[in-house]
Amino acid sequence: MLIWRWTDLYALRTGLQEQKALWPLPEGHQIVELEPLTAAWRGVTPDGHRPRPIPPGRADRMFYLLQQIASTDEPLAGPVPTAVTLHRPWGQ
């Protein structure tokens, strides 16, 4: 699962709880944050500042962003985030 940042999971969990819906993701799924990946892809400005990327907002724009990152031949300018395995309390 791709998310922009971890706080997205909090909003998802809250919305599902308000609707009395079940958590849709079982334990053991891999999650990757796209915000740090985008920051590594965009790099650092000449003055050494690493600008914080703006969330794409919609799934189609996130997909487009991933396509742009994947088609880049240059090495990333920062650490690449790794997948994290989803564990409770998300499923509660």
DSSP-assigned letters across all residues of 20-51 = TPPPS--TT-EEEEHHHHHHHHH---TTS--P
- Look at 20 and 1; give whichever has higher pLDDT: 20
| pLDDT reported for residue 21 | 86
Structure tokens at 45: 């400005």
| pLDDT reported for residue 91 | 47
- Look at 87 and 35; give whichever has higher pLDDT: 35
pLDDT in tens, 71-83: 888 777 766 666 7
C-alpha radius of gyration, the chain, whole number: 15
- Which residues, in sequence order, are CB contacts of 11 under 8 Å at separation 6+? none
**pTM score:** 0.66
pLDDT in tens, 25-71: 767 777 788 888 888 887 766 676 777 788 888 889 989 988 988 88
Structure tokens at 46: 């000449």
